[in-house]
Structure 1
C-alpha cells in the first residue's frame, strides 16, 4: 500500500528525526493483527484432537478454546491505556513478545492445565499488542490515507476469521511430523520472531513515557471485573445449560458496569484522568457506531459458529471444506472494505442501512438453501458472498467514521473501546445465536437444517435492527 509520508507529531509519540514509511508500518502492525485474530478461530478445528491427546474434560476443552478470548477481552482497555502511557511501539513489541512466547509454550504443553494457562498468556499478549495497531494507524495516517488504512484493517479482520478455519483444518489434517494439533500454535512463532526483528526498524520511536494523565487503577479494576463477569458466562454458560451462576455473573457484570460509569463521571468532574476520556464517548456518532459494530460482529460470529456446527456436525463435512465455504464471504468483505470510499458520495450515506438489509436477506437465503438437509451447492456460496458484502457495507463505513473525528491524543481510548466492543460483540453472537441453534433437536441433517433456519431468522432480525439504527442521522 502506498501513501504519502505521514507526519506524526511528538505528542503522538513519533520520532521526528526519521521519516516513517506508512506502507511498511501498516504491513507490520496488521500482520500482528492477523496473527492474533487467527488464534481466535484456528483452535476450534483442533479441539477434537486436543481432547483426544491430552484427555481434556469438556470444561477443560472449553477453557482451552475460550481462555484466549476471555483474557483478550478483559485486558484490551488496559492494553490501550498502557500504550498511551508508555508508548505504542514499546507496548506493541512487548505484547508481541509475550504472544510469541506463549504460542511456543502452547505448542509444547504437556497437559490441559498447562495449555489453559498458556492460552490465557496468549490472550494477555494480544490484549497489550492489538490496541496499539489502531493507535499507530490513527497517529500515522490522516485523511483519505487513514480511510484506506482502516479499510485494509477491516479486510484483515475478515481474512483472519476465514483463514483461521481453513489453516486450522489444513494443519490438523496434515499432522506435520506427527505433531497433531501442536502446529496450530507453533505456526505463530516464526511469524512473531520476524515481526520482532522488523518492528524496531519500521515503527516510529516513542517519546519519554508520559505520566501526565495518571493511571486510573480503580476504574481499570471495575471495568475488568465487569467484562470478566460478562465474558465468562457467555463462554461457558451455553455448554453447561446456563446454570444459576451464569445468570448471577451477568447480573454482577451490570452492577459493576454501573459503578464504573458512576466512578468515571465523578473522576472526570473532579478533574482526574478517567480510563476512557468522556470526550471520546461524546464524539458524534460514537454511540450508534458501538451498537452497529456489536450487531455486525455478533451476526458474523454467530453465523460462522452455527454454520460450522451444521456443516461439520449435521452434514459431516470436513473442517477444511467448511473453512473454504466461508472464503467467498471473507473475500468480498475485504474487497468492499477497501473500495467503498471510491463510490459516489451520494451513495455512501446509504451504505450502512443497505449493508444491514443485504446481510438480513442473504442470511435468510442461506437458511433457505440449506433447509432440505443438503449441502446448498452454489446457492450457499452465493448467499455467503452476499452476506460478506452486506456485513462489510455495514461495518467498514461505521468503523471508519467512528474514528475519523477522534483526536490523535484520544486514539488509545478509542481503539481500546472499539476493539473491546468488537470482541464482546463476537462473544455475544456465539452465545446468543449458538443457544438458539443448540436449543433445537440435532439428531440428523434435517433436524440440524431446521435449527439453522430458525437461527437464520434470528440473525436476520438482528441485521434489520442494524438497518434501523443506520437510518438515524447523526447531528453535528
Structure 2
C-alpha cells in the first residue's frame, strides 16, 4: 500500500488539479508531502521498531496510514489534502521499515537476497497496480467521487490487514538499547525541507530570492546534522553502519535510481494526460511494460553467475539510460511514438530493477542482526528521499518548460543523466573486497 500510494496518486494528479483547482506546486506537495514525511521519519520508525517490537510498530503504522487515507479521500481542499498526506506518510514510515527488519533477522545469505528480490518485486507490482487501478478508479468516477477512491481504497484493505497482521506477523525481535535521536531527527528534517520546499514551489513562485537562500541554508543544515550525529549518544545513522563495506556506494546508488524513478512517473503522467490527452486509464496501462519488466528482473537476477552480480549493477544503470534516451527519441515527434514508447518503458523497467535490487542486497548483505533496524531505516530513507527529490526536481523542470514541445524530451534526458550517475556510484562495488550480493 505504501508504494502503491505514490503511483496511484500520480495517475490521479491531473484530475485532482482540475477538481480542487490546485496549483502546480500544490499538486507536487500532494504527491511529495507524503514521501517527505515518509522519508524523514523512516529511520525513527525503524528505531522505534527495534525498541518496541516490529509487529507492534507495523500495526500502529497501519492504523495511522488507514485513518489518514480515509481523511485524504474526504478532504475538501488542497491544503487539507496536503496535511492528511503528511500524516499518511508518517504512518507509512512506522509501517514499512519493520518489513525490512523482519527480513534481515529472519533470513541470511542467499535466502536473504531472494527475500529482498521478492520485496523489490512487490514494489514493482505495487507500481503497476497503482498506475492501472488509479486509471480505473478515476475513469469510473464512482458515484461522482472523481479522484477520491484512489485514497478510500486503502481503508477496507487496511482493516483486513490489521486483522491478518495481528494473527500472522511473527513476533521475532532483536531488542535494542538505543534510544531516539531527536536532535538528529530535527536537523535532518530541517535540512531536507530547506532543499525540497523551494524545489517544489520555485516554479510557481517564479524562483524568488527566499528559495535560493533556503537551498543554500540546506547545505548548512546538512553540515549541522553531521556534527550532531558525531556527538549523539544514539545517532540516527551509527558510524559502524556507514563503515559497512559497500553501504555508502549502495545507498547513494539507491537514492539516484529512485530519483530517476520518481521523476519518470510524475513527469510522464503529466505529459501523457496533459500533453497527449490520454485518459487516466490509458496512461496507467502504458506503464505496464515497465513494471512487468521490473518485477521479472527483480525475481531472476540472482540466476546469473555470482561473478556477474556486481558488474551487472553498472551495466543495468547504462541500460536504463539507453532506455530513457530511446524514450526521448520516441516522444520527440510530439506523439506517443509507439511501439518505441512501450519498448523503451520495458527497457527502463529492466534496467532500474537490475540496478535497484542488487544495490539493496549489497547494502544489507553484511549488516549484523543487531543493526537491522538502523540499516532498514537508512536504506528505506534513501529510497523514499530519492523519490521526493526526483518528483521535486524533474517535476519542476517539466513544468518550467511546459508548454514547450521539448519539455518532456529535456526532462527525460535529465533522467538519463541521473541513471548514469547511479551507475558511477556503483563503481566502487566492483572492488573485490566488497561482498557480492
| TM-score with structure 1 setting the length | 0.85
**Structure 1: gaps (5+ residues):** 1-34
- Which has the greater radius of gyration? 1
Aligned to 1:181: 147
Q: Which secondary structure state, in structure 1, belongs to the residue aligned with residue 30 of structure 2?
A: helix
Distance 1:49 1:356 in 2: 33
Q: Contact 2:69–2:155 (CA<8 Å) still a contact in 1?
A: yes
Distance 1:439 1:111 in 2: 25
Aligned runs of 1:244-259 on 2, under 5 Å?
244-259=209-224
Distance 1:188 1:210 in 2: 31
Q: Which secondary structure state, in structure 1, belongs to the residue aligned with residue 316 of structure 2?
A: helix
Residues 1:349 and 2:305 aligned together: no
How far the C-alpha of 1:72 sits from its partner, in A, is 1.4
Distance 1:276 1:166 in 2: 37
CA separation of 1:61 and 1:398: change in aligned 2, threshold 3 A = closer
Aligned to 1:91: 57
Deviation larger for 337-346 or 110-119? 110-119
- Choose which of 440, 456, 464 in structure 1 pairs with 2:401: 440
Distance 1:245 1:180 in 2: 36
- Choose which of 409, 412, 420 in structure 1 pairs with 2:381: 420
1:45-99 CA-partner distances (Å, limit 9, x unpaired): 3344444544556655444333222221222222111111111111110000111
- Choose which of 402, 409, 428 in structure 2 pairs with 1:453: 409
Residues 1:38 and 2:4 aligned together: yes
Residues 1:470 and 2:426 aligned together: yes
Residues 1:378 and 2:339 aligned together: yes
Q: Contact 1:73–1:227 (CA<8 Å) still a contact in 2?
A: no
Q: Contact 1:306–1:434 (CA<8 Å) still a contact in 2?
A: yes
Distance 1:348 1:56 in 2: 45
Aligned to 1:17: none
Q: Contact 2:125–2:292 (CA<8 Å) still a contact in 1?
A: yes
| TM-score with structure 2 setting the length | 0.92
1:199-253 CA-partner distances (Å, limit 9, x unpaired): 121122266x957223222222222222332332333334333322222222222
Aligned runs of 1:74-153 on 2, under 5 Å?
74-153=40-119
Q: Which secondary structure state, in structure 2, belongs to the residue aligned with residue 276 of structure 1?
A: coil
- Choose which of 201, 218, 233 in structure 2 pairs with 1:236: 201
Aligned runs of 1:233-312 on 2, under 5 Å?
233-267=198-232, 272-312=233-273
Q: Which secondary structure state, in structure 2, belongs to the residue aligned with residue 350 of structure 1?
A: helix
Q: Contact 1:90–1:206 (CA<8 Å) still a contact in 2?
A: no
Deviation larger for 47-56 or 248-257? 47-56
Which structure has more RCO (C-alpha within 8 Å, separation ≥ 6)?
2
Aligned runs of 1:2-41 on 2, under 5 Å?
35-41=1-7
Distance 1:248 1:78 in 2: 28
Q: Contact 2:35–2:387 (CA<8 Å) still a contact in 1?
A: no
Distance 1:314 1:181 in 2: 20
Q: Which secondary structure state, in structure 1, belongs to the residue aligned with residue 332 of structure 2?
A: coil
How far the C-alpha of 1:364 sits from its partner, in A, is 0.8
Distance 2:29 2:398 in 1: 21
Q: Contact 2:102–2:172 (CA<8 Å) still a contact in 1?
A: no
Distance 1:304 1:353 in 2: 22
Q: Which secondary structure state, in structure 1, belongs to the residue aligned with residue 194 of structure 2?
A: helix
How far the C-alpha of 1:301 sits from its partner, in A, is 1.8
Q: Contact 1:219–1:260 (CA<8 Å) still a contact in 2?
A: yes
CA separation of 1:49 and 1:379: change in aligned 2, threshold 3 A = closer
Residues 1:219 and 2:184 aligned together: yes
Aligned to 1:25: none
For the aligned residue pairs, the C-alpha RMSD in angstroms reads 2.2
Residues 1:193 and 2:154 aligned together: no
CA separation of 1:42 and 1:242: change in aligned 2, threshold 3 A = farther
